[in-house]
Amino acid sequence: MRTFILYIIILSSINVTFAQKQETLLQRAEKHYNRQEYVLAIKNYNKVNTLDVSSKYRLGYSYQMIDDYRKALKTYQSIVKVKWEGQDLVFLNYGLMAKAMGLYGKAGDAFKEYLFDHADDKDVRDLYLSCQTQYYDELVKNKALTIVENLSFNTEHKEISPVLLQDGLIYSSSRRDHVKNDIHHRDGNQFLDLHFVQKNDLGVYDETEILHEHVLNNLHVGPSCYDTINNKFYMTVNLKKKKSVDAINNLQIVVSNYDPIDHHFDRPESININNPEYNLGHPTIANHGNTMYFVSDMPGGHGGTDIYKTEKGINGKWTEPENLGDLINTSGNEMFPYVYDDNTLYFSSDRHIGLGGLDIFKAIIVKGEITGIENVGAPINSSTDDFGICFQNPNEGYFTSNRFDGKGDDDIYSFKHNSFDFTVFVIDSVTREPLENIIVECYDNDRMAVMNFETDEKGYVRFNSRDKKMIQTIAAMSSNYKYKEKNIKDRKEERNVVVIELVKGRNLQLIGDVFDSKTHKKIKSAHVFLYDNDSTRIRSIGDVRDGHYSIIITEVPNHHYFISNAEGYITKNMKLINPTPDRFGVIYQDIYLDPIMSENVVDIENIYYPFDSSFLTEKSISTLNEVFALLRTNYDYKVEMQSHCDIRGTEGYNMQLSLERMESAMGYLVRKGISKDRLILGYFGEEVTAIDCKDCSESEHQLNRRTEIKIIR
């Protein structure tokens, strides 16, 4: 009996000791987590026998912070269906990790769950859109046009944030090239130092060297920039907080004078806007050294880290930082700014519409204001983190990525753009002389005309198609040279040069004038388009000058429509009256547009569409039924319908979506028995917005997703 009692006492003691040990491990894990020492937090969490849901979330977040996407995803997945107060954060971070792994379907589902309770979160809405096929396709469509290579000096450690210096690169690395062997417990790597590398005689980057002792630091020396005008080198360094053992080391910006002849750095000094209570880092210099963009998590920002701007005063001090605003900054993290020129700022963000992790974006600056941003796309961006870009020239440069095929944690890559611009060179097939004033027209794979130009005096047309639908064919023509079309889908010409040789001869032509039907004066601002037989797709774009138009065609347009419009006039949709060409191959057709008068037009309530959809809602159908009733009882009435999109998505995608919305509304009326001859149709993508806004609210976006309807009497 005594033995049994002794056994019970020993067992109870063991259980108490085990429970105490588990509690101690959990307390240690929480302490390291709160100090952002994620490697130590993971070590202690994994020693705890059973974790509650909040501790599992912190474990997943710790994996996320050290870029272990697989383990973070697996941990979040174990609690994603558990209902608790932090479930929305699980959905959000599970989505971020799935997206970083390239699992866009799972990521989209997670973001959708998050949006059920946070419908106004526009940043997560962008994350959701990023997972949809059409947005993904847009971001990767130019992947083959840029060559990306992993550089030879990368190691299994971190190499990040390249900076051009003379004929070499300065970058930050955690490689062990000197006696500093301290480990940063945030991610388990050694602290960063600055290194310098040059190309050897073969043009290959060779041995690296650690920078001058004056820029060494016991902690991090991270992302930097070089002011080439004033020979100053700005660096991001760790400054340990004083008076607290548990304090997190904050980032600050320091500056060193650099001697380019001796390759010597003076001892760095702190800049005046540093504050030990928050982080400042990732400096980049513009405006001849008088403007600095940098990253900070100072109070009053939009999210985790924001990008700020400061100016150098006449006293040499930096002014109060100015947040760049919510066109760039989000609820996530914006960092690693880089000024290419005074009008272009590159940065990385884990929000906006992107491929995953941190994506690199390009912002346009006009008179000191950010006017728009765009994702630079694949292959520079990937599903993982991509950041720290710099340019050697407009088509070549370097960036950092932790993509899965790298050598180590973060690697530095080079990139080289093939030109995105098309160059069309038009010559006489016999004389080989360049031809001036030749019309060049571009078509997509649906044979819809998307752009047209005229050759210059040297026979060239140069244009950029990055934001247009993928061009399939390009045609050249004039009144004296036969129409010739060239398929460029599988072109092999270097530098995207398309050479078109024309033979002298006549083409069929549509020509005429556009008049005001009341005054019979020419309308100089008119536009003329030739549509296909169902009035939905543009087949050719008219060349209109001072109210006179000409369109070169390849066949007699027996089943085609004209559509003409001008500001202040009712859009006109008409068939050719006499499509028979004369002996010179010319078809004449004047167009008369009716000025808009209140007694001639009845405005009908607009119909609106769900986001990224051409679906007709019940209210839209009710409005179209009213239109049908008016047309059915008034046989001389016509209806004008013009469809539009909001400003999200690419220009080409929105043009296609507005076409689908127009076809949806048109199809409804046609199915009810209304003849297409009574429908005046137009689609404009995002070109004509009802609400002119840069950072639109959801209600403003909704007002732009519309089809405008007018009854013409």
The enclosing domain of 484 has a CATH number of: 2.60.40.1120
Secondary structure element (H or E) that encloses residue 704, with its range: helix 698-704
List Cβ neighbours of 116 (8 Å cut-off, separation of 6 or more).
Answer: none
* Structural domain for 98, as ranges: 19-140
Place of tokens 């002014």: 319
Same domain (yes/no): 520, 381: no
Q: Residue 188's pLDDT is what? A: 58
Q: Residue 322's pLDDT is what? A: 96
Residue 13 resides in a domain: no
Same domain (yes/no): 436, 393: no
Same domain (yes/no): 658, 573: no
User: Across 127-136, 177-186, 532-541, 627-636, which has the greatest mean pLDDT?
Assistant: 127-136
Same domain (yes/no): 653, 677: yes
Q: Residue 114's pLDDT is what? A: 93
Q: Mean pLDDT, to the nearest integer, of 695-711?
A: 85
> Does 598 score more than 70 pLDDT?
no
List Cβ neighbours of 201 (8 Å cut-off, separation of 6 or more).
Answer: none
> Does 597 score more than 80 pLDDT?
no
643 close to 637: Cβ distance less than 8 angstroms: no
Q: Which of 504, 520, 545 is the last residue of a domain?
A: 504
Residue 180 resides in a domain: yes
616 close to 624: Cβ distance less than 8 angstroms: yes
Residue 444 resides in a domain: yes
Residue 610 resides in a domain: yes
> Does 370 score more than 90 pLDDT?
no
pLDDT band per the 50, 70, 90 thresholds, residue 5: low
Cα gap 386→14, rounded to integer Å: 50
List Cβ neighbours of 468 (8 Å cut-off, separation of 6 or more).
Answer: 442, 450, 451, 651, 652
pTM reported for the whole predicted model: 0.59
User: Across 201-205, 339-343, 445-449, 561-565, which has the greatest mean pLDDT?
Assistant: 339-343
Mean of all residue pLDDT scores within the chain:
83
Q: Mean pLDDT, to the nearest integer, of 145-173?
A: 89
Distances in whole angstroms, Cα of residue 200 to Cα of each of 166, 203, 393:
14, 5, 20
Same domain (yes/no): 126, 164: no
Residue 669 resides in a domain: yes
> Does 683 score more than 90 pLDDT?
no
Same domain (yes/no): 518, 570: yes
Which amino acid would we find at residue 356? G
Which amino acid would we find at residue 634? N
Beta bridge partners of 369: 366
Q: Which of 579, 595, 611 is the last residue of a domain?
A: 595
Residue 10 resides in a domain: no
Secondary structure element (H or E) that encloses residue 313, with its range: none
Higher pLDDT, 1 or 664: 664
376 close to 364: Cβ distance less than 8 angstroms: no
Residue 291 resides in a domain: yes
For the record, the structure tokens of 650 come out as: 């690419």
Q: Residue 241's pLDDT is what? A: 59
In the chain, the percentage of residues whose pLDDT exceeds 90 is 34
Q: Residue 347's pLDDT is what? A: 97
Secondary structure element (H or E) that encloses residue 535, with its range: none
Same domain (yes/no): 551, 621: no
Same domain (yes/no): 398, 437: no
Same domain (yes/no): 358, 232: yes
List Cβ neighbours of 197 (8 Å cut-off, separation of 6 or more).
Answer: 153, 168, 169, 171, 205, 206, 207, 208, 209
List Cβ neighbours of 443 (8 Å cut-off, separation of 6 or more).
Answer: 449, 450, 471, 472, 473, 474, 475, 485
> Does 451 score more than 90 pLDDT?
no
Looking at residue 256, which CATH number applies to its domain? Answer: 2.120.10.30
> Does 361 score more than 90 pLDDT?
yes
Residue 513 resides in a domain: yes
Same domain (yes/no): 281, 347: yes
Same domain (yes/no): 367, 440: no
- Residue closest to 712 by CA, chosen among 670, 677, 684, 660: 677
Q: Residue 533's pLDDT is what? A: 64
Which amino acid would we find at residue 479? S
| Each residue's pLDDT tens digit, 396-450 | 999 999 998 888 889 999 998 865 457 788 999 998 888 998 988 888 776 777 7
User: Across 180-194, 375-389, 409-423, which has the greatest mean pLDDT?
Assistant: 375-389
Looking at residue 635, which CATH number applies to its domain? Answer: 3.30.1330.60
> Does 466 score more than 50 pLDDT?
no
| Each residue's pLDDT tens digit, 267-283 | 889 999 999 889 999 99
Q: Which of 534, 564, 595 is the last residue of a domain?
A: 595
Secondary structure element (H or E) that encloses residue 300, with its range: none
pLDDT band per the 50, 70, 90 thresholds, residue 467: very low
Q: Residue 131's pLDDT is what? A: 93
> Does 184 score more than 80 pLDDT?
no
* Number of domains, the chain: 5
Q: Which long-range contacts (CB under 8 A, 24 or more apart) does 320-324 make?
A: 320/273, 321/273, 321/294, 321/296, 324/293, 324/370
Same domain (yes/no): 386, 488: no
In the chain, the percentage of residues whose pLDDT exceeds 70 is 86
pLDDT band per the 50, 70, 90 thresholds, residue 263: confident
pLDDT band per the 50, 70, 90 thresholds, residue 183: low
Cα gap 478→108, rounded to integer Å: 50
Q: Residue 20's pLDDT is what? A: 57
